[in-house]
């Protein structure tokens, strides 16, 4: 592989105009596609195989039109202190609001709370529901404005009025200011690491082009593939991080090759052949982790993973081709490692410069320290991460609703008013579906179900059964006594399902529980059940890949165990901040609650891929030194001498990019941004920079042991660039032959 990439890098360097034209054309094509594509609309959410989804599908069959996907709005009214909503003036305000809402062009129906019983028992709270003919995300701005204006007009009469429902939904706002700050930090780190504005600009430019192609493609295909806003935001987040890092590693290696006296074309070829090989394998681990989300069998999660994986593939291809091309354009503006802008003017300055060059860098000093005290460093790192991971044992999963919104939003205030007036479970009703098609007496079966549910704990209200026209299916609405995300409500769902087993045995009727709350519970359980198989698949495939890269058994094993430490510690930090509220105010966490169901498995996939990035980039340098004859201890120091600064810079850049998304108003994006940023910190600076060299120092030569039969069976991918040693000095007259070889390959 190193030889092929060597030739590819040199070809891109020489044919820089052609390479740049291709990528600009791809960016333009993707941009035109995104601009001309139809609006994405509302994304569907389904969880194949779970009971809540089965019940939902059954409702669509037996109650045609009842589960239409039109948007809903809800205006909640509260009377002033000492008054009731049934008072003449307050009642007139509500009725005027209902009449005004009914005039909307997209409105299907508006309920009158005084005829539908939507007034609290104490008479202080009432609500009206508005049904629209289009999904919430596809409503016209004028329709949303009319809903908000109706609430404002009612509020002006002295009532407390707030608006909820999916009619007020808007696209995810990733927090543009935070992203700009993150990119600014990344730019500063690149300038410090690479020594010039030109060199620092190359990774930023290629990352932006790669993300532009990826996100524009996602936008262009959003309608056809049913992709949501979160999909493009996550692709943007991951694409920026890996795009900058992959380009950084190749540019940094190029500068090192220049420092060894090679001409620029040879330096580009060797940088692409060595660092580029590491980029390919690092990118493969990220792609495996993201594409592996398909095993969960949740379409939305699969699409998010595949879209982000596609962006990573683009980042790898750009790093391997456009970076060599841009280095050709940059010429002498990208200098060798250690080369200053101005030469020393006198012998004293030159002597001082030589002394500074001879002084070991921070990475070398740290590696030497770890080699001297490997057991202490290993123990401290493992115990520290283990302590941070403790909160993860109290992890509670759920999906966000209006109750998780900041208290400053009208949706959250409407949610709280409904809880106050109708009970905490009102915002999360359960829909019980009684399939009595095989029952001798469907009405008796429905009555049995209703009476049984009334006897269960934590039940506030049970409505009478409502049958379809065929009379073979009934629905029963149950209002829990606790809030939707509570463990009591989850226990109630399981209790109803357990009771349904007995009902089926006695009456032949099947009892299914659905609704948003039940769907959330089933979703969380499905993700929990899929976590271990997912880990096994992803870690197993990556373990085999790393065996090929490192020609070792223990090094990949150590890499996988280190990843588990970092991801558990990151989950512990997420629980402490977002579930317990520790230091949450520092990053704008206004409301604590359960961790979003997809957060653990998504973070496992992304963090695993990024963790293997650092493992590949850092340890391949150690492997390269060991293969070239250095002792295991010397190889560790050499790896840190060449890679520690770059890996640290890459980690800081990733943390800055992910941290920029913490300012998002979308709770899922904020949580993922924080989780990935803290996970990168744990993995790069504690696991890869401390635990990894400590383990390698303790293992010595055993770290690089591989059974001879397995060594013969594995393909030789030559990540260390051993095959380039003679090619680096080859005559330039062979360049034309190499170009033809590449074309044939």
For 104-120, how does the pLDDT look when each residue is reduced to its tens digit (9 = 90+)?
A: 888 888 999 998 888 89
Considering the domain 360-409+523-710, what is its CATH architecture?
Answer: Up-down Bundle (1.20)
Pairing of strands 125-132, 430-435: unpaired
408 versus 645: the higher-pLDDT residue is 645
CATH number for the domain whose boundaries are 72-164 = 3.30.70.1430
Q: Is the pLDDT of residue 738 over 70?
A: no
Angle of helix 299-330 relative to helix 2-14, nearest 10 degrees, comes to 60
- CA–CA separation, 125 and 161 (whole Å): 10
Strand ranges, E, within 386-526: 397-398, 430-435, 459-462, 466-467, 473-480, 510-514
How many other C-beta atoms lie within 10 A of the C-beta of residue 707? 9
Share of the chain above pLDDT 70, in %: 90
Q: Which has the closest alpha carbon to 719: 634, 618, 649, 638?
A: 618
* pLDDT grade for 420, boundaries at 50, 70 and 90: very high
Tokens of 345: 């003017």
Residue 709: φ, ψ to 5°: -65, -35
Q: For 677-706, what is the mean pLDDT? A: 92
Average pLDDT value over all residues in the chain: 85
Domain ranges for the chain, please list them. Answer: 72-164, 360-409+523-710
Q: For 267-291, what is the mean pLDDT? A: 87
Instruction: With H, G, I as helix, E, B as strand and everything else as coil, classify residue 242.
Output: helix
CB 35 within 8 A of CB 299: no
- CA–CA separation, 541 and 536 (whole Å): 8
Q: Which tens digits make up the pLDDT trace of 602-633?
A: 788 778 877 877 888 888 888 878 887 889 99
pLDDT recorded at residue 400: 73
Residue 129: φ, ψ to 5°: -110, 135
| Residues 6 or more apart in contact with residue 616 via CB below 8 angstroms | 278, 281, 282, 285, 546, 549
pLDDT recorded at residue 176: 57
Q: Is the pLDDT of residue 16 over 80?
A: yes
Tokens of 644: 């520690």
What percent of the residues of the chain are helix, what percent strand, and what percent coil, each to the nearest 5? 70, 5, 25
Tokens 């009970």 correspond to 423
Q: For 579-584, what is the mean pLDDT? A: 88
Q: Which has the closest alpha carbon to 76: 106, 138, 120?
A: 120
Residues β-bridged to residue 160: 78
- CA–CA separation, 70 and 80 (whole Å): 33
* pLDDT grade for 726, boundaries at 50, 70 and 90: low
Q: Is the pLDDT of residue 397 over 50?
A: yes
C-alpha distances out from residue 639 to 94, 268, 630, 697, Å: 72, 20, 11, 13
| Residue environment code for 123-158, b if the CB has 16+ CB neighbours within 10 A, otherwise e | ebbbbbbbbbebbbbbbeeebbebbbebbeebbebe
Q: Do domains 72-164 and 360-409+523-710 have the same CATH topology?
A: no
CB 167 within 8 A of CB 143: yes
* pLDDT grade for 171, boundaries at 50, 70 and 90: very low
Instruction: With H, G, I as helix, E, B as strand and everything else as coil, classify residue 78.
Output: strand
Name the H helices within 226-298: 229-259, 264-291
Q: For 258-272, what is the mean pLDDT? A: 89
CB 686 within 8 A of CB 647: no
Q: For 51-69, what is the mean pLDDT? A: 79
pLDDT recorded at residue 301: 84
Lowest mean pLDDT among 553-557, 623-627, 739-743: 739-743
Q: For 484-490, what is the mean pLDDT? A: 88
pLDDT recorded at residue 742: 54
206 versus 516: the higher-pLDDT residue is 206
pLDDT recorded at residue 434: 94
Instruction: With H, G, I as helix, E, B as strand and everything else as coil, classify residue 117.
Output: coil
Furthest C-alpha separation in the chain: 104
pLDDT recorded at residue 173: 47
Instruction: With H, G, I as helix, E, B as strand and everything else as coil, classify residue 119.
Output: strand
351 versus 687: the higher-pLDDT residue is 687
CB 174 within 8 A of CB 231: no
pLDDT recorded at residue 656: 87
* pLDDT grade for 40, boundaries at 50, 70 and 90: low
Which DSSP symbol is given to 86?
T
- CA–CA separation, 219 and 649 (whole Å): 31
- CA–CA separation, 651 and 181 (whole Å): 16
Q: Which has the closest alpha carbon to 666: 321, 406, 329, 358?
A: 406
- CA–CA separation, 709 and 716 (whole Å): 14
Using a CB cutoff of 8 Å and minimum separation of 24, what contacts does 199-205 make?
199/251, 199/255, 199/330, 199/333, 199/334, 199/335, 202/247, 202/251, 202/323, 202/326, 202/327, 202/330, 202/334, 203/243, 203/244, 203/245, 203/247, 203/248, 203/251, 203/323, 204/244, 205/326
Q: Is the pLDDT of residue 744 over 70?
A: no
* pLDDT grade for 192, boundaries at 50, 70 and 90: confident
Helices (H) and strands (E) in the chain, counts: 25, 11
Q: For 676-689, what is the mean pLDDT? A: 92
- CA–CA separation, 562 and 382 (whole Å): 9
Q: For 8-29, what is the mean pLDDT? A: 94
Q: Which tens digits make up the pLDDT trace of 425-439?
A: 998 899 999 999 988
Q: Is the pLDDT of residue 65 over 70?
A: no
* Number of residues assigned to the chain: 745
pLDDT recorded at residue 319: 94
Distance of alpha carbon 703 from the chain centroid: 33
Highest mean pLDDT among 16-20, 232-236, 711-715, 739-743: 16-20
| Residue environment code for 592-619, b if the CB has 16+ CB neighbours within 10 A, otherwise e | ebbbbbbbbbbbbbbbbbbbbbbbbbbb
Q: Is the pLDDT of residue 152 over 70?
A: yes
Share of the chain above pLDDT 90, in %: 40
Residue 434: φ, ψ to 5°: -105, 110
Dihedral (C-alpha) 374, 376, 378, 382: value to the nearest 10 degrees? 180
């Amino acid at each position: 592989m190193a030889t092929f990439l060597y030739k590819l890098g040199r070809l891109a360097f020489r044919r820089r105009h052609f390479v740049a034209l291709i990528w600009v054309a791809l960016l333009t094509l993707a941009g035109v596609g995104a601009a001309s594509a139809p609006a994405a609309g509302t994304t569907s959410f389904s969880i194949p195989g779970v009971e809540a989804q089965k019940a939902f599908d059954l409702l669509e069959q037996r109650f045609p039109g009842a589960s239409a996907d039109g948007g809903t709005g809800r205006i909640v009214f509260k009377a002033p202190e000492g008054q009731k909503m049934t008072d003449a003036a307050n009642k007139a305000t509500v009725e005027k609001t209902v009449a005004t809402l009914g005039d909307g062009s997209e409105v299907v129906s508006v309920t009158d709370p005084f005829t539908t019983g939507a007034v609290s028992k104490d008479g202080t709270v009432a609500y009206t529901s508005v049904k629209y003919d289009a999904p919430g995300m596809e409503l016209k701005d004028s329709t949303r404005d009319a809903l908000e204006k109706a609430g404002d007009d009612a509020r002006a009469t002295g009532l407390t009025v707030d608006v909820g429902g999916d009619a007020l939904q808007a696209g995810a706002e990733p927090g543009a200011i935070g992203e700009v700050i993150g990119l600014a930090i990344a730019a500063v780190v690149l300038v410090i690491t690479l020594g010039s504005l030109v060199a620092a600009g190359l990774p930023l430019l290629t990352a932006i082009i790669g993300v532009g192609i990826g996100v524009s493609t996602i936008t262009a295909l959003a309608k056809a593939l049913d992709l949501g806003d979160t999909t493009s935001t996550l692709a943007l987040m991951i694409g920026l991080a890996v795009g900058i890092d992959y380009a950084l590693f190749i540019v940094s290696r190029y500068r090192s090759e220049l420092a060894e006296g090679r001409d620029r074309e040879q330096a580009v070829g060797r940088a692409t052949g060595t660092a580029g090989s590491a980029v390919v394998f690092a990118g493969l681990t990220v792609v495996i982790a993201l594409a592996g989300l398909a095993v969960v069998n949740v379409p939305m999660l699969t699409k998010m993973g595949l879209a982000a994986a596609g962006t990573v593939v683009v980042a790898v291809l750009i790093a391997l081709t456009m970076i060599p091309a841009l280095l050709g354009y940059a010429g002498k503006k990208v200098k060798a490692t250690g080369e200053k802008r101005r030469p020393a003017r006198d012998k004293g300055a030159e002597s001082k410069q030589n002394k500074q060059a001879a002084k070991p860098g921070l990475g070398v000093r740290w590696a030497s320290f770890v080699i001297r005290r490997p057991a202490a460093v290993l123990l401290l790192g493992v115990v520290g991460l283990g302590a941070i991971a403790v909160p993860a044992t109290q992890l509670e999963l759920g999906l966000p609703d209006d109750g998780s919104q900041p208290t400053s939003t009208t949706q959250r205030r409407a949610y709280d008013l409904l809880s106050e007036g109708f009970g905490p479970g009102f915002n999360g009703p359960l829909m019980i579906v009684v399939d009595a098609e095989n029952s001798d007496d469907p009405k008796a079966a429905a009555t049995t179900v209703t009476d049984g549910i009334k006897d269960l704990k934590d039940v506030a209200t049970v409505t009478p059964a409502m049958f379809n026209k065929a009379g073979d299916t009934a629905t029963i609405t149950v209002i829990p006594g606790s809030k939707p995300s509570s463990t009591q409500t989850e226990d109630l769902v399981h209790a109803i399902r357990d009771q349904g087993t007995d009902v089926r045995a006695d009456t032949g009727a099947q009892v299914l529980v659905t609704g948003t709350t039940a769907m959330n519970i089933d979703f969380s359980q499905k993700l929990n059940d899929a976590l271990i198989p997912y880990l096994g698949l992803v870690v197993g495939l990556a373990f085999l890949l790393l065996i090929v890269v490192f020609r070792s058994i223990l090094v990949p094993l150590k890499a996988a165990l280190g990843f588990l430490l970092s991801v558990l510690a990151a989950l512990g930090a997420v629980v402490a901040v977002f579930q317990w509220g520790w230091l949450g105010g520092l990053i704008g966490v206004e409301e604590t609650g359960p961790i979003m169901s997809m957060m653990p498995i998504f973070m496992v996939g992304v963090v695993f891929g990024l963790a293997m990035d650092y493992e590949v980039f850092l340890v391949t340098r150690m492997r390269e030194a060991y293969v070239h004859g250095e002792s295991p201890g010397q190889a560790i120091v050499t790896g840190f001498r060449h890679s520690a600064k770059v890996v640290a810079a890459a980690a800081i850049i990733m943390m800055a990019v992910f941290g920029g998304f913490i300012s998002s108003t979308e709770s899922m994006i904020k949580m993922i941004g924080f989780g990935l940023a803290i996970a990168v910190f744990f993995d790069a600076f504690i696991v890869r920079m401390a635990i990894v060299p400590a383990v390698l120092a303790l293992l010595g030569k055993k770290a690089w042991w591989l059974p001879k039969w397995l060594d013969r069976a594995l393909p030789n991918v030559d990540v260390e660039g051993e095959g380039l040693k003679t090619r680096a000095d080859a005559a330039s007259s062979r360049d034309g032959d190499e170009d033809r070889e590449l074309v044939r390959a």
